[in-house]
Structure 1
């Protein structure tokens, strides 16, 4: 066992835990590590006796306490929820807009140009409009949709 291995093993042990046989054998043959372990023990004893600074609680206890505190706090309800009027009216306007595209003067300008047609422009605009509507609907009603379809 090397000195580094011995120091690492000693640091991983719990305080007051008996030393493994290979560590005791190394300490018996290495005065440097023996002095280092004695210094570590004396520092720990001084720290325990000081009384001013209690030994900190393990990190697991602090994490569990933080989780319990988070679970105890009520989660706020989302402000925007699904209401038929809020989403049906824009959906109707979107549908009317889709149906009115062939009669629109904006699109007729593109269709009347040489080589211009609506075969590309109409699907792009329709796709963008529908995707935007669906994204906003899903974003604002995510909790309702999760309850509806995942339970």
Structure 2
């Protein structure tokens, strides 16, 4: 069986170095094979850390909904109230060439910590996230079956 590669479901890299990444590294080989495993990484000049995560098939479905919400009104939450790290995204300022976005990673179960990062993102970042979701679904098909 060929080795699977890691794919970033989320890769938000600000113009000034801050980033939030959700990297998928494969299927859960110790549990439900439909579940994906990976990590959430926050990287700034002040705060840097990673957190393991599990992504269920329904998480990928709701991620598409989150992207639709972001495109419409600029605020959305992913996995809020679940037993998983949450991602909250708020567009605080829209400009012709870039958006200023506040991203919060909330981990209520493992670390009981929240990391909040302000990112200046180049135009087209939501479309890039849609492409990343499609890439994850292509790399690990049949997530909803």
Give TM-score scaled by structure 2 length.
Answer: 0.28
Relative contact order higher in (CA < 8 Å, ≥ 6 apart): 2
Decide which structure has the larger Cα Rg and report it.
1
The structure carrying a bigger strand percent of its residues is: 2
More helix by share: 1
Tell me the TM-score normalised to structure 1 length. Answer: 0.27
